[in-house]
Amino acid sequence: MAKSEVPESEGVSGGVKSDCDTRRGSILRRRSSSVGGLFDDSSLERDIPAVDMVSGSGSKDFVAAAAKSGEEDKDRVKVDNADVNAKREKVVDVSALKFLYRPSVPVHRSVRESPLSSDNIFQQSHAGLLNLCIVVLVAVNSRLIIENLMKYGLLIKYGFWFSSKSLRDWPLFMCCLTLALFPIASYLVEILAQRKKLSEPVIISLHIFITSAAVLYPVVVILRCDSAFLSGGTLMLLACIVWLKLVSYAHTNSDLRALSKSIEKGEELPNNLKMDYPYTVSFKSLVYFMVAPTLCYQPSYPRTPSIRKGWVFRQVVKLIIFTGVMGFIIEQYINPIVQNSQHPLKGNLLYAIERVLKLSVPNLYVWLCMFYCFFHLWFNILAELLRFGDREFYKDWWNAQTVEEYWRMWNMPVHKWMVRHLYFPCLRHGIPKGVAVLISFFVSAVFHELCIAVPCHMFKLWAFIGIMFQVPLVLITNYLQNKYANSMVGNMVFWFIFSILGQPMCVLLYYHDLMNRNKGID
């Protein structure tokens, strides 16, 4: 009997220990119902000792303890698992708090950073703060909308966007249609080059003439016609796009032609240089390239399998809504402020700063809406209709910590064109890297000036100076980023310059001069 009592006592003690471990381990599952969800935090799971964690063997130990507690009938040991679980949960309900955070259990177990510390801020979700910013913006702007309507009334007009007094915009529309002649001319030059009817210097000269005419012809038409700003700006933007596309078309075909000649001569090409596409001049590929949302030519592009018609419809609706928002902000907010203010660079300094700050906020809203409409909605709609596969039209430029990062991420079609057809060709011709960067900014400044100054019929060089001013800002923000590594100093400097002293400032200067010019004409 003595021998038989030892296993029995061991079984009882083992059952008690198993019952204790099971009840202590079940706290994680029961704490929300036991204490009203007060400790419902996933971080607490890391604070519970490993011996208190429930495992798959806990349930088995509980059943085994029940089987060894003096049950002689084996048929009664085979109880239903549901009944066993119900009894176990009932026990836990009674004594759950006894094993939750005993005073002797350590609370602080590891080194941790605060959520808003510099080392941990980018690893946390800030969705709540983003919602707070949205709520604040809605509240503040709602007040401004009501105040503006009470002060000025509804100021929506169409004269700024379209000319209705005459047909002076028709020459611009006809010029826009005739822009298709320049790609056809470039195609004919490439056909003759493929058939070896023209020498390389003649080919280059013809392409220079065609691309130059594609820009100068619209400039002359816009300056000779007193058209609306939107009409002139649209035509000038299309002319610049055609120029960039034709340069890429001529440059790419010239390179393909050179590689084809090298292969015909039996020359060995480097391992990193190969012809991804054969040298063929196709009118179909040129037409697709001219309407595709890219500025870099290649004979074929990655394509998507089908067109999502419902998705396209939703994007078109968004495009219409945000375009209307842009027009409303310009007519209702920017126009009254500009018309009732002096020139930012003339008059009282404090008054000028106040006007610039007041104008910068609605101007920033317009610029962000323009970016969303043009780079996201319009480019994706066009890509979907053409089944264009590569839709990296922008990157997360809003997280840029330097001005250089911003220019590399916010407009990917132009950036890829600059790298492919301007920056690296300069490096291959022995031009230093710094000079190549300066040349890239100079070309960008010229086209920014054309797209703004020509439709405004005013050459004040504000846009040109603003873009060239980015060069020292690149050096300054790079220095700050290197000095204050892993910080947001560069990003804050970028946003301040972008919102107040960068592109918005140049646009505000031109807009102010344009409105004063129209007021003087009236």
Handedness of CA 503, 509, 515, 517 (dihedral sign): negative
* Helix, strand, coil fractions of the chain, as percent rounded to 5: 70, 0, 30
Could you give the CA distance from residue 268 to residue 266 in angstroms, rounded to a whole number? Answer: 7
DSSP state of 519: H
- Judged by phi (left if over 0) then psi (alpha if -120 to 50, else beta), residue 297 lies in beta
Query: Which residues neighbour 419 within 8 Å (Cβ) at sequence distance 6 or greater?
Result: none
Query: Which residues neighbour 409 within 8 Å (Cβ) at sequence distance 6 or greater?
Result: 394, 395, 396, 397, 400, 415
Is 244:180 a contact under the CB 8 Å cutoff?
Answer: no
Residue 303 phi/psi, 5-degree rounding, is -125, 150
Beta bridge partners of 303: 388
Residue 253 phi/psi, 5-degree rounding, is -65, -35
Q: How many CA atoms lie within 13 A of 343 on its CB side?
A: 10
Please, what's the b/e burial string for 108-146 (b: 16 or more CB within 10 A of its CB; e: otherwise)?
eeeeeeeeeeeeeeeeeeeeeeeeeeeeeeeeebeeeee
Helix axes 181-194, 283-291, angle to 10 degrees: 140
- Reference 209, options 174, 246, 172, 238; nearest CA is 246
DSSP state of 303: B
Could you give the CA distance from residue 413 to residue 382 in angstroms, rounded to a whole number? Answer: 14
Could you give the CA distance from residue 87 to residue 60 in angstroms, rounded to a whole number? Answer: 14
Structure token digits, residue 450: 């054309």
Could you give the CA distance from residue 113 to residue 118 in angstroms, rounded to a whole number? Answer: 9
Query: Which residues neighbour 496 within 8 Å (Cβ) at sequence distance 6 or greater?
Result: none
Answer yes or no: 251 catalytic: no
Q: Which residue among 376, 448, 457, 512 is the active-site one?
A: 448
Q: Which residues are catalytic?
A: 448
